[in-house]
Structure 1
Amino acid sequence: MPETMRAVVCHGPEDYRLEHVPVPVPGPGEALVRVEAVGICASDLKCYHGASKFWGDDTRPAWAETGVVPGHEFVGEVVALDDAARARWGVEVGDRVVSEQIVPCWECRYCRRGQYWMCGPHDIYGFKRRTPGAMASYMVFPAAALVHRVSRDLPPAHAAFAEPLSCALHAVERGGITFDDVVVVAGCGPIGLGMVAGARAKSPAHVVALDVSDDRLDLAAACGADVTVNISRQDPLEVVRGLTDGYGADVYLEGSGHPAAVGQGLNLLRKLGTYVEYGVFGSDVTVDWSIISDDKELDVRGAHLGPHCWPAAIRMLESGVLPMDRICTHQLPLADFQQGLDLVGDGSRSVKVSLIPG
């Protein structure tokens, strides 16, 4: 085992550096994991640019700390663990594993009630020094982590997609989709594509995908959307009303993180419809709340992380039902992390960008 490794280290907004750091040493009940792939997502990018919701202001704590290794969606191989970790997780040295992005404290009000994904301390890999992330050759899974095995038949970047897919499936669960529903998914990035696939698995009447990119809409169709709308050329309200006798959509899943998608969803929904927000915004969003109350009496639900959805996400990946070669567009060496961040920021040349530390 080497004594040092390469890792991306956060030193502040737009100041990430590739450095040589000590290989972490697992403690009691922990596991040392060799990272095979780590994805870059929109929240990583917003944090990199120093959005206030991530770096803190007078009302919100910072999400990312200086000195932390980023990266919260990953897959790796177990290289060392003790008997306590082996018994808790049911894994062995050599197993390919993923870990849920949050490491719960298991002691706060939420954890005690089984709502671990809303844990009070909220230690997510790659945002706090207590839980370093996966943009490195090796990482440690803490004893409190939630760990799942993944098939070795999957390419590393595909296996690492378990994290965004689990998040998308949780949003779908929050939507309470039924067979007769018309479901609209806003945004066909990695989360939105997962929402499309998850919504299709619920067998509603229609899954409608919205985006401004024809390429991404084609990908959404491959994931299960039976109606695709390029909102730069078509009026989504007209399309949705045409599918619903003028009433509007039953469920709207927001996965773009674009402020305009919020008002769009409120307008597309029928009375008594359900709005699910998963997107992460870099600034405040303003809407007419009377649409939610007096006009339509909507159910508005948030969705955070992917609780209880990881096994389903892994099964979906292993089944081959998703066009993962088209979703995982870029795999870059760790040294090219800046190129990866820039690709995600550009948005027009990639879907899912991953770093391969090997």
Structure 2
Amino acid sequence: MKAALMYGPNDIRIEETEKPKCPQDGLIIKIMSVGLCGSDIRNLTTDSRKGNYPFIYGHEIVGYVDETGPDQTKYKVGDRLFLFPGTYCMECDECISGHSENCSNKEVSSLAGTGGFAQYVAVKGEKIRRGGIYEIPEDVSFDAASLGEPLTSVFACLENVKVGYPDTLVIIGAGPIGCFMAQLAKFRGAQKVIMLDLNDSRLEMAKKFGVDITVNSSKEDPIEAVKKLTDGKGADKVISATPVNATQTQSIHMVKKGGLVVFFGGVPKGSMTELDCNLIHYNNIWIKGHFGASYSQSKRAFQLAISPTFPTEKFITHILPLDKINEGIKLTRTGEAIKVVLHPWDE
């Protein structure tokens, strides 16, 4: 099969490699669409595997069942499936406490994490039994269904922090995740969405997704801009959706007294964020980290992604063959693309 193999930072090669073998109690998915995620780009452009290469990334996977093992009875060849990458044991302390996204059973949580930048991927029987595989209706495109995964964590975040009427919400980062956040915030009833970024073209595209006001942080002080736009009070909620420590530092200066700040974007491992703790203390600011989603949230996010009310066509700006994955990375990093979807079978 054809696959995009990573051999090191920024070294992604399209090669022929062995098709995975079908597990006795599992199946093989023929991948029809796979989204290019910001975390994929971060992994592909850094030494994410610490020298353990080659490796196939890609986790926004949708396709057909191509083959089933003799002991697998739930799905049949031809079924159209969405493969949620998270898998939870529902037995560890984290799962039982309601935070299954932090499942501590590493063997279970890694069952379906990656391997999507290829023409086929194997799914173990244990993944099928644990859950997180959803059937795609015949009238829904694979491209639309692939948005179910990136939408999941955004859906969970906004639900967990109760974004809704009459919130003024600041989103830092006008990438794909920031645009998903803006659209969902409007669905949930937020009254004003302010988007901050350094890239004018991204900010312009963000206006398509319910953003009311954009601020280019390279041209004006973002903290002063937010204060001015909120009559000096600050926003009800601020979400830092970038992989940058500086935006986390700025975020607590943009929120109102008693407001909520969410650190959504992962920053470089080992890096430290400088915070004004007196400001946090005396202004009663709450800070929440967000990662992942529960099974319930993943299923509802998938249902939203494939519903006619969700504007899939506005989010997917580029559809490319897998061979052009490096072009997709460049388009995303420069801000020309909101969401890139790759087709492993296109030439």
Q: Which amino acid aligns with 1:138?
A: Y
Q: Which amino acid aligns with 1:10?
A: M
Q: 2:260 aligns with which of 261, 274, 282?
A: 274
Q: 1:143 aligns with which of 122, 125, 141?
A: 125
Q: Which amino acid aligns with 1:325?
A: E
SS at match of 1:71: coil
Q: Matches of 1:42 and 1:123 in 2, distance apart?
A: 24
Report the Cα offset of residue 266 of structure 1. Answer: 1.0
Q: 1:48 aligns with which of 44, 54, 78?
A: 44
Question: What is residue 69 of structure 1 aligned with on the other side?
Answer: 56
SS at match of 2:125: coil
Alignment partner of 1:328 is 2:316: yes
Q: 1:213 aligns with which of 196, 199, 216?
A: 199
Q: Percent identity?
A: 27
User: Residues 318 and 274 (structure 1 numbering): CA distance in 2 closer, same or farther, change over 3 Å?
Assistant: same
SS at match of 1:169: helix
Alignment partner of 1:318 is 2:306: yes
Q: Matches of 1:130 and 1:319 in 2, distance apart?
A: 25
Q: 2:28 aligns with which of 19, 32, 36?
A: 32
Report the Cα offset of residue 251 of structure 1. Answer: 0.7
Report the Cα offset of residue 191 of structure 1. Answer: 0.7
User: Residues 342 and 227 (structure 1 numbering): CA distance in 2 closer, same or farther, change over 3 Å?
Assistant: closer
Q: Which amino acid aligns with 2:4?
A: V
Question: What is residue 149 of structure 2 aligned with on the other side?
Answer: 163
Report the Cα offset of residue 177 of structure 1. Answer: 2.1
User: Bigger CA drift: 19-28 or 250-259?
Assistant: 19-28
Alignment partner of 1:348 is 2:335: yes
Q: 2:10 aligns with which of 7, 11, 14?
A: 14
Report the Cα offset of residue 93 of structure 1. Answer: 3.0
Q: Matches of 1:119 and 1:327 in 2, distance apart?
A: 30
CA contact under 8 A between 2:85 and 2:112: conserved in structure 1?
Answer: no
Matches within 5 A, 1:59-98: 65-81=52-68, 86-87=73-74, 91-98=75-82
Q: Matches of 1:305 and 1:31 in 2, distance apart?
A: 25
User: Residues 351 and 178 (structure 1 numbering): CA distance in 2 closer, same or farther, change over 3 Å?
Assistant: closer
User: Residues 169 and 27 (structure 1 numbering): CA distance in 2 closer, same or farther, change over 3 Å?
Assistant: same
Alignment partner of 1:153 is 2:150: no
Report the Cα offset of residue 241 of structure 1. Answer: 2.9
Report the Cα offset of residue 160 of structure 1. Answer: 1.1
Report the Cα offset of residue 348 of structure 1. Answer: 2.7
Q: Matches of 2:140 and 2:204 in 1, distance apart?
A: 23
Q: 1:109 aligns with which of 64, 68, 93?
A: 93
Q: Which amino acid aligns with 1:16?
A: I
Q: Matches of 2:108 and 2:176 in 1, distance apart?
A: 19
Report the Cα offset of residue 129 of structure 1. Answer: 9.5
Question: What is residue 180 of structure 2 aligned with on the other side?
Answer: 194
Q: 2:116 aligns with which of 114, 134, 138?
A: 134
